[in-house]
């Protein structure tokens, strides 16, 4: 079993660290919010006194932080903690951040003889709690194989996307497509409803036709077409609008850097920004259905 230092015990990181403990790993934890630390210590993790302490004398460091600036300031800045990580250890960053930052962190750590993979996740809080996350890993073959047994304690599917940064790119490609599909599905359903169609009948027809897609089949945005999805529970739970807005921002950054044409992604970003500005940031991302239900004048 490995010795692991875990930094960032929020909605995702808390249950992920708890699953590492459950799998028998020796886990030290740190977060700026003491209550988040206490919850994981209750599950058998050891409390570290500082970010420097949590990475000292461990074989693996896992971070689950809000954004690229937090990851860079921890691992790359002057006041960062890299000097406390032992040579030969591995850092796994599971935060969703821009690929450029992942590369900067990877280069810096590699120069200190510390290996690095970016390993963003999909599967949300339920996946973190149930240990069923999908990890999308960027790094060398050797580093992927080293990280995999640790990631398996927190996830079900572990993909190797390519070199450092590729995990982040694959994740935002997927989430950009998801936003586009959710927006398109909502638009089609709302137009049918305006013509008096029953959304369930229309969904059944499109599911047997060429418009079939994941959002229509498993995450229908129209209330009461499917049971147990956020749209049928007041758009509570699920994947928050503000997190989708963040991922679309990262997708547009990546599009600019790679000079990719992403007009559909840009439009989806625009719509999610409007939804968030209307106070829906904490609702599930399928609530874009409500925005597109407004009548055009
Ligand atoms: P969160 O805000 O709940 O947790 C982040 C934690 O990091 C907080 O507890 C915060 O106190 C801590 N933190 C911030 N800076 C720190 C520092 N310098 N040292 C120690 N701790 C620090 O966020 P989350 O929902 O757990 O998401 C974490 C990451 O996972 C994000 O990058 C997010 O985009 C990604 N993600 C989230 C979901 C989701 O459904 N919540 C799904 C997939 C990916």
Mean pLDDT, rounded, for 219-243: 95
Task: Decide if 147 contacts 92 (C-beta within 8 A).
Answer: yes
5-32 as b/e: b if 16+ CB within 10 A:
bbbbbbebbbbbbbbbbebebbbbbbbe
Output the pLDDT for position 270: 98
Question: pLDDT above 70 covers what percent of the chain?
Answer: 100
Residues 6+ apart with CB under 8 A from 176: 247, 248, 251, 262, 265, 268
Residue nearest atom 9 of ligand 1, based on CA coordinates: 10
* CA-proximal residue: ligand 1, atom 20 (nearest): 31
pLDDT in tens, 249-266: 999 999 999 999 999 999
CA torsion through residues 272, 177, 246, 263, sign = negative
| Residue-range domains of the chain with CATH | 3-163 (3.40.50.720), 169-291 (1.10.1040.10)
| Percent of the chain clearing pLDDT 90 (strictly above) | 95
- What pLDDT does 234 receive? 97
Contact 219, 229 (CB under 8 A): yes
pLDDT at res. 237? 87
Residue 296 has pLDDT above 80, yes or no: no
Q: Which atom of ligand 1 is nearest to the CA of 74?
A: 18
Active site residues: 171
Contacts of range 35-42, beta carbons closer than 8 Å, 24 or more positions apart: 36/9, 36/10, 37/9, 39/9, 39/14, 40/6, 40/9, 40/14
With a 6 A CB cut-off, is 9 part of the ligand 1 pocket?
Answer: yes
Question: What is the whole-number distance in angstroms between the Cα of residue 63 and the centre of ligand 1?
Answer: 9
Task: Give the distance between the most distant pair of CA atoms in the chain.
Answer: 66
The answer to whether the CB of 64 is under 6 A from ligand 1 is yes
Determine whether the shortest distance from the Cβ of 31 to ligand 1 is under 6 A.
yes
Cα of 204 from ligand 1 centre, angstroms: 38
Predicted local distance difference test score (pLDDT) of residue 294? 86
* Gap between the Cα atoms of 189 and 293, Å rounded: 9
* Nearest Cα residue to 245 out of 266, 229, 259: 266
Q: Is the pLDDT of residue 220 over 80?
A: yes
Residue nearest to atom 29 of ligand 1 (CA): 95
First and final C-alpha spacing in the chain:
63
- Where is 209: in which H helix or E strand? none
Cα separation of 269 and 272, whole Å? 5
Distance 173 CA to ligand 1 centre (A): 20
pLDDT attached to residue 297:
73
Tell me what the mean pLDDT of segment 24-47 comes to: 98
Strand ranges for 53-107 from DSSP E: 60-63, 90-93
**Interacting residues of 171 by C-beta distance below 8 A, sequence separation 6+:** 96, 120, 121, 122, 136, 247
**Most ligand 1 atoms within 8 A of CB, residue of 12, 38, 283 to mutate:** 12
Specify the pTM. Answer: 0.94
Q: Are 269 and 252 in contact (CB under 8 A)?
A: yes
Task: Output the average pLDDT for the chain.
Answer: 96
> pLDDT per residue over 124-148, tens digit each?
888 999 999 999 999 999 999 999 9
Q: What is the pLDDT of residues 62-112, one digit of tens each?
A: 999 999 999 999 999 878 899 999 999 999 999 999 999 999 999 999 999
Instruction: Report phi then psi at 178, rounded to 5.
Output: -60, -45
Residue 295: pLDDT over 90 = no
Atom number, ligand 1, closest to the C-alpha of residue 8:
7
- Ligand 1 neighbour 74 (Cβ under 6 A): yes
Q: Which token pair is 30?
A: 């740190």
Q: Write down the pLDDT at residue 192.
A: 98
CA of 200 to the centre of ligand 1 (A): 36
pLDDT tens digit sequence for 169-189: 999 999 999 999 999 999 999
Decide: 106 and 164 in contact? Cβ < 8 Å. yes
């Amino acid at each position: 079993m490995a010795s692991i230092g875990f930094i960032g015990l929020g909605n995702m990181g808390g249950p992920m660290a708890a699953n590492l403990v459950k799998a028998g790993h020796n886990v030290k934890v740190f977060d700026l919010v003491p209550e988040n630390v206490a919850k994981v210590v209750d599950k058998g993790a050891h409390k570290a006194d500082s970010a420097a302490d949590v990475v000292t004398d461990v074989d693996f460091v896992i971070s689950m932080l809000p954004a690229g600036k937090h990851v860079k300031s921890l691992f790359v800045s002057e006041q960062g903690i890299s000097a406390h990580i032992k040579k030969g250890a591995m850092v796994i960053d599971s935060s969703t951040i821009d690929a450029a930052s992942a590369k900067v962190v990877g280069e810096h750590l590699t120069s200190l003889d510390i290996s690095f993979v970016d390993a963003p996740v999909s599967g949300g809080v339920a996946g973190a709690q149930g240990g069923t996350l999908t990890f999308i890993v960027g790094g060398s073959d050797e580093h992927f194989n080293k990280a995999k047994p640790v990631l398996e304690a927190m996830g079900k599917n572990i993909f190797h996307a390519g070199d450092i940064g590729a995990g982040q790119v694959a994740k935002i490609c997927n989430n950009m497509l998801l936003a586009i599909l959710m927006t398109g599905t909502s638009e089609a359903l709302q137009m049918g409803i305006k013509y008096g169609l029953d959304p369930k009948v229309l969904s059944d027809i499109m599911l047997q036709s060429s418009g079939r897609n994941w959002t229509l089949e498993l995450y229908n945005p129209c209330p009461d077409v499917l049971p147990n999805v956020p749209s049928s529970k007041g758009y509570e739970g699920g994947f928050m609008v503000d997190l989708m807005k963040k991922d679309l921002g990262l997708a547009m950054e990546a599009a600019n850097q790679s000079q990719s044409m992403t007009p559909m992604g840009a439009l989806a970003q625009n719509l999610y920004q409007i939804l968030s500005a209307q106070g829906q940031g904490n609702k599930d991302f399928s609530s874009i259905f409500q925005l597109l239900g407004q009548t055009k004048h």
